[in-house]
Amino acid sequence: MRKLKNEELNRLDIDDYKASDKLPIVVVLDNVRSMNNVGSAFRTSDAFAIESIALCGITAQPPHREIHKTALGATDSVEWKYFESTEAACESLKAAGYSIYAVEQVEESTSLEQFKPEGKIAVVFGNEVFGVEDEVVALADGYLEIPQFGTKHSLNISVSIGVVLWDLVTKLKFK
């Protein structure tokens, strides 16, 4: 058994990646403070060929050394757009035919394993301390909750993004 070398992984170059088909998913970052979390969102979105990222409010924008540290170049491959507010991003996405899902622990949330994605989807991930803004929760078409079984009732945003995107990818791409 040996580990594969990078050149054996058949990775796309940036131009081929940009021209490739993407999953109809937009990751929305609602006032995310940590640039490492922003970089992780880019890297995970690249790995799963997500359509784009919406950076909102205080969320940092590329180029920045701290984002690059975890993105490892994914800021060059994944499309992104900045919005002054998450509400503006959600309204723009709704006008473009996306359903908005806040990843948040709220009444009447859908446990992730029960969610059946359809059409174009925007998933909103909130601030590391305060979660998704109440105004954004009110705009959402639905709410997704990651089931958890331990004593903590939250995950780091970069972990949440990975869990949610992998779940959506498996349901949309491998159905």
User: Residue 140 is part of a domain; what is its CATH number?
Assistant: 3.40.1280.10
Q: Is residue 11 part of a domain?
A: no
Q: What is the mean pLDDT of residues 34-55?
A: 98
Q: What pLDDT is stored for residue 12 in this prediction?
A: 92
In a domain, 122, yes or no: yes
Q: How many domains does the chain have?
A: 1
Cα separation of 111 and 119, whole Å?
A: 19
pTM for the structure as a whole: 0.96
For the record, the structure tokens of 142 come out as 């639905």
Q: Is 26 helix (H, G, I), strand (E, B) or coil?
A: strand
13 in a domain, yes or no?
no
Q: Give domain status of residue 12, yes or no.
A: no
Does the structure show a pLDDT above 80 at 80?
yes
- pLDDT score for 165: 98
Whether residue 4 lies inside any domain: the answer is: no
**What percentage of residues in the chain have a pLDDT greater than 90?**
96
> What distance in Å separates the CA atoms of residue 42 and residue 80, rounded to the nearest whole number?
9
Q: Is 25 exposed, middle or buried (0-12, 13-18, 19+ CB in 10 A)?
A: buried
What's the pLDDT band for 175 if we cut at 50, 70, 90? confident
pLDDT in tens, 119-141: 999 999 999 999 999 999 999 99
Percentage of the chain beyond pLDDT 70 is: 100
What pLDDT band is residue 67 in, cutting at 50, 70 and 90?
very high
Q: Which pLDDT band, with edges at 50, 70 and 90, does 68 fall under?
A: very high
Question: CA angle, 143 as apex, 150 and 111 as ends, to 5°?
Answer: 40
Q: Examine residue 42 and state whether it is found in any structural domain, yes or no.
A: yes
Task: Examine residue 34 and state whether it is found in any structural domain, yes or no.
Answer: yes
Residue 25: its pLDDT value, please?
A: 98
Round the average pLDDT of the chain to a whole number and report it.
Answer: 97
Tell me which DSSP letter residue 2 carries: -
Q: Is 71 helix (H, G, I), strand (E, B) or coil?
A: helix
Instruction: Taking residues 11-36, report their average pLDDT.
Output: 96
| Structural domain boundaries, residue 83 | 20-173
Nearest to 32 by CA among 80, 79, 72: 80
pLDDT on residue 48? 97
